[in-house]
Structure 1
Amino acid sequence: MTSAVVTVPGAMRAGLGPARVGLAEAAQRVGDLLAGMPEPGSRSPAQRAEAAAAHAGARALRVRFMAAHADEVYDELTDARANHLRLAELVEAAARSFPGLVPSAAQLAAERSRAQADKEGHEIDQGIFLRAILSSGQAGPHLMNAMLRPTARALRLLPEFVRTGRLEMEAVRLERRDGVARLTMCRDDCLNAEDERQVDDMETAVDLALLDPAVRVGLVRGGQMSHPRFRGRRVFSAGINLKKLSAGGISLVDFLLRRELGYLHKLMRGIHQEDPERWHSPFVEKPWVAAVDTFAIGGGTQMLLVFDHVLAASDAYFSLPAAKEGIIPGVANLRLPRVVGARLSRQVILSGRRIWAKEPEARLLADEVVEPEELDAAVERSLERLTGDAVVANRRMLNRAEESPDEFRGYLAEFALQQALRIYGADVIDKVGRFGGSAT
């Protein structure tokens, strides 16, 4: 099988038409082989080895195909960049127009019905595709700007939010009060562990806060929990929902990449709007404050790295348990060394060091550490400080100096593939399987 797959690499260097045909034929041969096997979780060791070899051969072709034709592919999918497709729309369009390049809708639907341990791993092909697109100096910035546009859901909800100043979603409550957009993460049963529902609600809330002209500054905080261990206490975030990951409910495109290129990037850069009246900048951005109660684990700590001001209760802690979970902690590998230094970053990411708010090192992650009963007042003071007229211009320049869009894009390009590989790693599947019955 492998030799049959690798007989067409010359086509990858030919024009787009022959390369497209060669890739589709190779992918079909792999598909035919897999169709004759049991489901992934029921294969014998020999069958698993044969399937892995077939996947490897086809993926090598995809890498060569995208290295040669990434810009041509992207231009075809976006009508020469006239259309701004979000990540999910882009991979769907690629599946229709370039058979065998990324998984089809039917393949993805089958994968979604399986636990992570029983999947074929087709999302790795999406990682190959998106790494090439994001690496391109033409296609990559265009895709990033597409992801910085307001979502259709936010635009639909905007008139009602502007009128009422309130929005209740499953994972996030949004309230505008005294010029402040107050985003409360309210997944009280799972300690604000993130899944695709929370990512969608967070991006909607961030969009609305940025679009509403009555909002001058935003606040993100965790709500009170109903979880037995923390009932009645505020919690910031328990990070990725490992129970959902084990069950196969955490996707590369709709969670792992959308989270980084969507609401987290919007917190830092703002939303992208092409408006002739905004001749000075196509971005609408505002300052953001985060308040940490109890803990910010994993993705919770990742979030803090894009805020303008971070407060923490003195009994809280921060952690990035990447080594424990076996995955890459988002963009923390890029951002954390700038904030806390290289050596402490390795202790946190590679060794799982937990940093308590009362430790001196915590002042590298939090601007203010106060007693829990004083946190509400400290938050209000910090919000008032960030309403000055020059704050937005200065935060824009600080963000550009600390992390250029091209640097972020280059990191995300490699992250797209490496994280796809990690979520299908045998060690990750084993570890998250043990978390399957837990809240996070």
Structure 2
Amino acid sequence: MTTDSPTLSLSPGLDHRALAKAAQRVDELLDGLPLPSARTPAQREAASSALDEIRAARTEYVEAHAEEIYDRLTDGRTRYLRLDELVRAAASAYPGLVPTEAQMAAERSRQQAEKEGREIDQGIFLRGILNAPKAGPHLLDAMLRPTARALELLPEFVETGVVRMEAASLERRDGVAYLTLCRDDCLNAEDAQQVDDMETAVDLALLDPAVRVGMLRGGVMSHPRYAGRRVFCAGINLKKLSSGDIPLVDFLLRRELGYIHKIVRGVATDGSWRSRVIDKPWLAAVDSFAIGGGAQLLLVFDHVVAASDAYFSLPAATEGIIPGAANYRLSRFTGPRLARQVILGGRRIRADEPDARSLVDQVVPPEEMDAAIESALAALDGDAVRANRRMVNLAEEPPDGFRRYMAEFALQQALRIYGADVIGKVGGFAAGAR
């Protein structure tokens, strides 16, 4: 079996046909090799060299043609394609630029350690689109629009005030949308199903005119270590990451650009002259702990109540990945020194220590959580709160700054989830460390 890298003969300013031909030669090389774990050092080097060269070419091409590509895929920005729809459309219209659906299906069938890392090519493409001054904002707007699933469930929720899903449930009472994370067996660890359920629930809470305030809390656990106790969130499900079930587009990027961004900005609608978004105040209530993605969530809520025995941590550095948009937001709350201790050093912060006051608004004994939550919800239900929180969010997190961060995140997180260190660590968790 050959271990020679294909001769790509790529030159600056290459056109799409040359890129497609070069990509095909790389695909032929990869198809002729064993799975990554079974490759010889020479085969690994051949694959790595070929991938580096074609990825450099893809980067150059999408950076040079991002606006043209996006306009073609969206009919001159008249169609709103979500991330998954956009990468599929690009695969069809621009062969060789991003992986085909068949290639991604093959990737999804493998554990993380056995994948070719084709999501890195999706990251290259999305970084280029998000960095483009016209295409990027339009894509953010597309991701703020309500999902088809939420629009289908909206009449039922408006009528009954209740929607129950696998990973989250939503109940409306007295103008409050009570959103509960209910993965009781895994401490609300995050996966693609949770992201889908959460975005659906956030959409419903924002679209229902009878809801004035949203609230997020973890449900009661059946997990042996926390049986009978509420838990907020244990962060990314590392076992799912090891098994190859934490996708870049449908989890890592959808999570940030979908429901979390909607909590900040609101859900986009055709709207009225007053505003093109519907946004509402949100409260988070933390029981037991907010780890990883759970801690990230606290940075977008208008008010956070925590039990005095809870703690917060962002162990992404020890896991080897990037903690979502926490690197963008955390310093604003804690200052740069504490942010580095948490993100780079993995420092855990207890709710009852002074530094926790930069992350939460109230710390109360566990038995007083319900009363504190109801009091805080009443305070958020003021006529001027919605307009003021919109202006605060605009001042603190300008859309262009967030867009530029997410553009780079799209690629850097893709590279991290295929890093040898990450694959080794999550393999340990999958074997029973968590």
Give the TM-score normalised by structure 2.
0.98
Per the alignment, in what secondary structure is the counterpart of residue 59 of structure 1?
helix
Per the alignment, in what secondary structure is the counterpart of residue 9 of structure 1?
coil
Name the CA distance, whole Å, in 1 between partners of 2:432 and 2:263: 30
Give the letter for the 1:122 counterpart: R
2:299 equivalent to 1:305 = yes
Correspondence for 1:217 among 210, 213, 223:
213
Map Cα deviations across residues 254-305 of structure 1 (whole Å, 9 max, x no partner). Answer: 0000000000000000001113xx1021010000000000000000000000
Name the CA distance, whole Å, in 2 between partners of 1:101 and 1:250: 22
How many equivalent residue pairs?
431
Name the CA distance, whole Å, in 1 between partners of 2:259 and 2:12: 41
2:427 equivalent to 1:433 = yes
Consecutive unaligned residues of structure 1, counting only runs of 5 or more, are: 13-18
Give the letter for the 2:363 counterpart: V
2:253 equivalent to 1:257 = yes
Match of 1:165 in 2: 161
Match of 1:20 in 2: 16
2:386 equivalent to 1:383 = no
Superposition deviation, residue 184 in structure 1: 0.3
% identical equivalent positions: 68
- 1:173–1:185 contact (8 Å) kept in structure 2: yes
Match of 1:10 in 2: 12
Per the alignment, in what secondary structure is the counterpart of residue 420 of structure 1?
helix
Match of 2:181 in 1: 185
2:386 equivalent to 1:392 = yes
Name the CA distance, whole Å, in 2 between partners of 1:34 and 1:140: 32
Match of 2:37 in 1: 41
Correspondence for 1:208 among 180, 204, 207:
204
Give the letter for the 1:65 counterpart: Y
Name the CA distance, whole Å, in 1 between partners of 2:433 and 2:212: 35
Map Cα deviations across residues 321-352 of structure 1 (whole Å, 9 max, x no partner). Answer: 01210000000001000000100000000010
2:234 equivalent to 1:238 = yes
- In structure 2, relative to structure 1, the CA distance for the partners of 1:439 and 1:209 (3 Å cut) is farther
Correspondence for 1:322 among 316, 340, 352:
316
- 1:323–1:351 contact (8 Å) kept in structure 2: yes
Per the alignment, in what secondary structure is the counterpart of residue 306 of structure 2?
strand
Name the CA distance, whole Å, in 1 between partners of 2:426 and 2:45: 23
Match of 1:371 in 2: 365
Give the letter for the 1:382 counterpart: A
- 1:241–1:439 contact (8 Å) kept in structure 2: no
What pairs up with 1:337-416 in 2 under 5 angstroms? Answer: 337-416=331-410
Match of 1:284 in 2: 278
- 2:5–2:29 contact (8 Å) kept in structure 1: no
Match of 1:15 in 2: none
Name the CA distance, whole Å, in 2 between partners of 1:437 and 1:228: 18
Give the letter for the 2:56 counterpart: A
Correspondence for 2:264 among 251, 265, 268:
268
2:411 equivalent to 1:417 = yes
Per the alignment, in what secondary structure is the counterpart of residue 37 of structure 1?
coil
- In structure 2, relative to structure 1, the CA distance for the partners of 1:439 and 1:291 (3 Å cut) is farther
What pairs up with 1:91-130 in 2 under 5 angstroms? Answer: 91-130=87-126
Per the alignment, in what secondary structure is the counterpart of residue 7 of structure 2?
helix
Correspondence for 1:293 among 287, 298, 302:
287
Name the CA distance, whole Å, in 2 between partners of 1:437 and 1:104: 32
Per the alignment, in what secondary structure is the counterpart of residue 184 of structure 2?
coil
Give the letter for the 1:341 counterpart: G
Give the letter for the 2:192 counterpart: E
Name the CA distance, whole Å, in 2 between partners of 1:44 and 1:405: 46
Name the CA distance, whole Å, in 2 between partners of 1:10 and 1:353: 45
Per the alignment, in what secondary structure is the counterpart of residue 182 of structure 1?
strand
Give the letter for the 1:290 counterpart: A
Match of 1:73 in 2: 69
Name the CA distance, whole Å, in 2 between partners of 1:108 and 1:369: 45
Give the letter for the 1:421 counterpart: L
- 1:41–1:119 contact (8 Å) kept in structure 2: no
Give the letter for the 2:59 counterpart: V
Match of 1:139 in 2: 135
Correspondence for 2:147 among 151, 172, 195:
151
Give the letter for the 1:261 counterpart: L
Match of 1:16 in 2: none
Name the CA distance, whole Å, in 2 between partners of 1:382 and 1:132: 42
- In structure 2, relative to structure 1, the CA distance for the partners of 1:439 and 1:426 (3 Å cut) is closer
Correspondence for 1:50 among 46, 53, 71:
46
Superposition deviation, residue 41 in structure 1: 2.1
Map Cα deviations across residues 37-79 of structure 1 (whole Å, 9 max, x no partner). Answer: 1122211111011100000000000011011100000011101
Name the CA distance, whole Å, in 2 between partners of 1:246 and 1:409: 29
Name the CA distance, whole Å, in 1 between partners of 2:433 and 2:217: 19
Name the CA distance, whole Å, in 2 between partners of 1:112 and 1:409: 28
Give the letter for the 1:357 counterpart: A
Per the alignment, in what secondary structure is the counterpart of residue 436 of structure 1?
helix
Superposition deviation, residue 10 in structure 1: 3.4
